Amino acid sequence: MIEDFLLEITRCPEMLHCLNEYSGHPCSTIVDLQRSTSIIDHQLPEPWSGQINQAPILFISSNPSISNDEIFPTGDWQDEKIIDYFQRRFGEGQQEWVINGTKSLRKDRRYGRATMFWAGVKARAKELLERDPVPGVDYALTELVHCKSEKEQGVPEALDYCVSRYFRKVLAASGARVIVGLGKMAKDVIHSEFQLSEDKNVYGPLPILGLQRMVALLPHPNARMVRSFDKIINKDELIKLRSLFN
Number of compact structural domains in the chain = 1
Q: In the prediction, which pLDDT does 45 show?
A: 98
Q: In the prediction, which pLDDT does 22 show?
A: 66
Q: In the prediction, which pLDDT does 246 show?
A: 76
Q: In the prediction, which pLDDT does 222 show?
A: 85
* Confidence (pTM): 0.96
Q: How far apart, in whole angstroms, are the C-alpha atoms of residue 223 and residue 235? A: 23
CATH code for the domain of 156: 3.40.470
pLDDT in tens, the chain (246 residues): 899 999 999 999 999 889 887 678 999 999 999 998 889 999 999 999 999 999 999 999 999 999 999 999 999 999 999 999 999 999 876 788 999 999 999 999 999 999 999 999 999 999 999 999 999 999 999 999 999 999 999 999 999 999 999 999 999 999 999 999 999 999 999 999 999 987 899 999 999 999 999 999 999 988 888 889 999 999 999 999 999 987
- Domain housing 216: 2-243
